[in-house]
Every structure is written in C-alpha cells, then in structure tokens.
Amino acid sequence: MTEQGFHTLCAMINMARFEQIRCLSTLKRRLVQQGYAQEHIAEAIQAWAKYGWEKRC
C-alpha cells in the first residue's frame, strides 16, 4: 500500500465512523470533495475490503 493510500484509508475509516456514512458511493463522493485522488480511494477500499474478508476467515 502506498503512503497516499494509507492516508486515504485512515481518512475513509474516520469519515465513515464520525459522520456515520454507511453507503460506499457517499463515502467516495465525500473523499473526492476532500481532495483525495480516485486511485488512492480505490486502493484504500481494496485494503479495507481485504481486511474485512480476512477478519471473517
């Protein structure tokens, strides 16, 4: 994971938690509004999904 991807992931998790965002499209839109790049958003989503998948197994 790139450094920018990691910072995006942290921002995404905090935003989802503190703003109680439950819809991925809303979360993506908010991240873009905050100036995060699409490629870093995609990288962060992939890392978060991988974490969730591994946590279940």
pLDDT in tens, 16-51: 999 999 999 999 999 999 999 999 999 999 998 888
Q: Residue 57: its pLDDT value, please?
A: 66
Instruction: Work out how many domains the chain is built from and give that number.
Output: 1
Q: Which residue has tokens 């908010």?
A: 30
Query: Is the Cβ–Cβ distance between 29 and 41 less than 8 Å?
Result: no
Question: What is this structure's pTM?
Answer: 0.86
As a whole number of angstroms, the distance between CA 43 and CA 8 comes to: 8
As a whole number of angstroms, the distance between CA 42 and CA 18 comes to: 21
The domain in which residue 44 lies consists of 3-56
Q: Residue 54: its pLDDT value, please?
A: 79
Q: Residue 24: its pLDDT value, please?
A: 94
